[in-house]
């Protein structure tokens, strides 16, 4: 038996990193102001870590668009794996050529991950564990995270390129 409503529990879980950062920053500021010496320095460091966690948590919360979508996403040994009810597959993170957002699919938009050779993997944005794609995308060289989050929230009318490898050099 739970004394917390399911909606409140979902909201707390969605904002978990931000709330943890807020708690750490508050504790750190308290120590930095009320203590002296090493505890004040630890408090200042804790406040900085908390502020960084708040920033990262807000970005992650903006990336989470919902839950209950079809399929499960997994990242294992630099492979993005999607187990869907009708289709699925995997792509290598190292072989990724392009990441796109396809908003026209129903009931939710899809991430389209294309690797070398043209093989594409379509992953609904609300699939179970789809939030782990944020870490995959953040690790891509040259990605503009703010642009990705803006496109995800704006619900554009056509497919949007989020990231690509650009022109490859032979030597």
Concatenated DSSP letters for 22-67? Answer: HHHHHHHHHHHHH--THHHHHHHHHHHHHHHHHHHHHHHHHH---S
Question: Per residue of the chain (171 residues), what is the pLDDT tens digit?
Answer: 578 888 888 888 889 899 999 999 999 999 999 999 999 999 999 999 999 999 999 998 888 877 778 899 999 999 999 999 988 999 999 999 999 999 888 888 899 999 988 899 999 998 999 989 999 998 898 888 888 888 888 877 888 999 988 744 444
One domain, residues 38 and 79: no
Instruction: Give the per-residue pLDDT at 1.
Output: 58
- Is there a domain that residue 145 lies in? yes
Provide the pairing of β-strand 88-92 with 110-115: unpaired
- Is there a domain that residue 123 lies in? yes
Please tell me the distance from the alpha carbon of residue 134 to that of residue 73, in angstroms, as a whole number. 12
Tally the domains of the chain: 2
Q: Quick one: which of 89, 92, 82 has its CA closest to 139?
A: 92
One domain, residues 39 and 112: no
Please tell me the distance from the alpha carbon of residue 113 to that of residue 78, in angstroms, as a whole number. 14
Read off the pTM.
0.76
Question: Who's near 95: CB < 8 A, 6+ residues apart?
Answer: 115, 116, 117
Instruction: Give the per-residue pLDDT at 156.
Output: 79
Please tell me the distance from the alpha carbon of residue 77 to that of residue 124, in angstroms, as a whole number. 21
CA atoms within 13 A on the CB side of 6: 1
One domain, residues 20 and 90: no
Instruction: Give the per-residue pLDDT at 89.
Output: 92
Q: Identify the domain containing residue 110 by its residue range.
A: 72-164
**Residues 130 and 152: beta-carbon distance below 8 Å:** no
């Amino acid at each position: 038996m739970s004394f917390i409503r399911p909606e409140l529990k979902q909201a707390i879980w969605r904002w978990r990193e931000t709330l943890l950062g807020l708690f750490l920053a508050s504790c750190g500021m308290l120590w930095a102001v009320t203590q002296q010496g090493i505890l004040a320095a630890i408090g200042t460091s804790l406040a900085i870590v908390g502020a960084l966690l708040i920033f990262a948590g807000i970005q992650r919360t903006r990336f989470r668009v919902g839950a209950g979508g079809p399929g499960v996403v997994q990242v294992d040994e630099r492979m993005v794996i999607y187990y869907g009810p009708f289709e699925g597959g995997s792509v290598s993170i190292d072989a990724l050529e392009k990441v796109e957002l396809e908003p026209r699919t129903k009931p939710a938009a899809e991430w389209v991950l294309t690797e070398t050779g043209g093989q594409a993997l379509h992953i609904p944005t609300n699939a179970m564990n789809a939030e782990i794609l944020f870490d995959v995308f953040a690790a891509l060289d040259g990605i503009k995270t703010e642009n990705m989050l803006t496109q995800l929230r704006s619900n554009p009318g056509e497919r949007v390129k989020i990231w690509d490898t650009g022109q490859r050099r032979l030597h």
